Amino acid sequence: MDRIHITGGAPLNGTIPISGAKNAALPLMIASLLTGETLELINVPRLADIAALTRILGNHGVDHMVVGKRPGQTTETGQTVRLTASNVIDTTAPYELVSTMRASFWVIAPLLARFGEAKVSLPGGCAIGTRPVDLLIMALEKLGAEIEIDAGYVVAKTKNGLRGAPIDFPKVTVGGTHVALMAAALAYGTTVIDNAAREPEVVDLAECLIKMGARIEGAGTSRIVVEGVARLGGARHEVLPDRIETGTYAMAVAMTGGDVSLVNTRTDLLASALETLSATGAEVSDIPGGIRVRRNGGGISPVDVTTDPFPGFPTDLQAQFMALMTLAKGQSRIRETIFENRFMHVQELARLGAKIRLDGDLAVVEGVERLKGAPVMATDLRASVSLVIGALAAEGETQINRVYHLDRGFEALEAKLARCGAQIERVRA
């Protein structure tokens, strides 16, 4: 199993290109099942989760082609992918495939909407919480789907197609909003989605669906209105920049010091996180086509945060921000409101010398003068990269084990950091 070896203490200076967002690319790829025509996606990151979903779509009969390099493309800036679901041969998504990635459960929506049936395995547990699919099933039932659970599978059918209806989510759910959007796009009549997720990735999916011929208004607000259409066509769409990758590298600069330009990204995608970062003492500014982050060696100020759905502070940046706060000059309080069990990185940060006390959904971080390198083990995707950030600032050497988690969500991480002066290398198993 691969490991990452980091010798800490070097500031980061240079330019890091931000990849396309994994959390946008996955639902966009799944949306290819809604049409028999080709969906061309630009700026798709090269990640393990993308490869896993490609296999799942291939199992349904979706043809997949990676287009040759285009001007400006590098191995760090995404790829162009064409997906064609003109000959879907199977509406079943088996456990052995769905279990590798939870988001693959979302194929239930386009399969049901287009073919009137779907049989999709329940995705199972998750290291950062249960993340149940009950709200996704509720949304489909509101649209007229007949659903039963049989031997670990969700079996969904509709006799005369889905029909538009009001869907009022009891809590904000990104997955539920994705599923509702895709299903409602081909439903007969009007669907009104209340308490919809406002995340940029939801907006990106809606914009792509509109290019395919869907009639959608209100994406990016808490109420989305979808007027169903009889069919959707092909489209060409560019995946939006990865706001979590952007925030991760911004926090790494704030922790290690230095001056880095994050290019191919936008401040509006993570305004709350960048405001919080500025409050710690980092200088954050807009530049053409990106964001500049600087810290001149001054101390890190402690800041309290609470994770919230967009436009609040992202849960996917909580672990990275906690790593930053371990070196703050004082106490900070970090409250996690989205996922239970999302403090699994705490014990590993403690191995680097961090002082963190847990109280339910609250982590109290007492800043220390310095961290020291140590062997650590990754437990999930975001926890993994928080350990990378900590190791970059720690004295001496850190070895991070089980880094396959990183390959799920960060494209060319070692190359991007090494380009900016980090002493980082992957040790192959």
CATH code given to domain 3-18+241-427: 3.65.10.10
CA atoms within 13 A on the CB side of 404: 7
CB 260 within 8 A of CB 15: yes
Return the pLDDT at 73: 61
What is the residue-level pLDDT of the chain in tens, covering all 429 positions?
789 999 999 999 999 999 999 999 999 999 999 999 999 999 999 999 999 999 999 999 999 999 876 666 666 668 999 999 999 999 999 999 998 888 899 999 999 999 999 999 988 644 334 447 899 999 999 999 999 999 889 999 998 999 999 999 999 999 999 999 999 999 999 999 999 999 999 999 999 999 999 999 999 999 999 999 999 999 999 999 999 999 999 999 999 999 999 999 999 999 999 999 999 999 999 999 999 999 977 789 999 999 999 999 999 999 999 999 999 999 999 999 987 667 889 999 999 999 999 999 999 999 999 999 999 998 877 788 999 999 999 999 999 998 888 888 899 999 999 999 999 999 987
Return the pLDDT at 343: 86
H or E element that contains 414: helix 413-419
Strands 190-194 and 223-227: antiparallel
Residues with a catalytic annotation lie at: 126
CB 99 within 8 A of CB 121: yes
Residue 373: strand, helix, or coil: coil
Return the pLDDT at 127: 39
3-state helix, strand, coil in the chain (%, to 5): 35, 30, 35
Max CA-CA distance within the chain? 66
Q: Which of 387, 392, 293 is nearest to 15 (CA)?
A: 293
165 CB burial (10 A radius; 0-12, 13-18, 19+): middle
- Phi/psi class of residue 271: alpha, beta or left (left: φ > 0; alpha: ψ in -120 to 50)? alpha
- Phi/psi class of residue 381: alpha, beta or left (left: φ > 0; alpha: ψ in -120 to 50)? alpha
Cα separation of 195 and 192, whole Å? 10
The residue written with tokens 């989605």 in the block is 193
Strands 215-217 and 223-227: antiparallel
CB 257 within 8 A of CB 296: yes
CB 196 within 8 A of CB 168: no
Return the pLDDT at 341: 65
Match domain 22-238 to its CATH number in 3.65.10.10, 3.40.50.280, 3.30.56.10, 3.40.50.80: 3.65.10.10
- The structure tokens listed for 166 are 């009001």
Mark the binding-site residues for UDP-N-acetyl-alpha-D-glucosamine, compressed into ranges. 102, 131-135, 316, 338
The residues of the chain that CATH labels 3.65.10.10 are 3-18+241-427, 22-238
The residue written with tokens 């040759």 in the block is 68
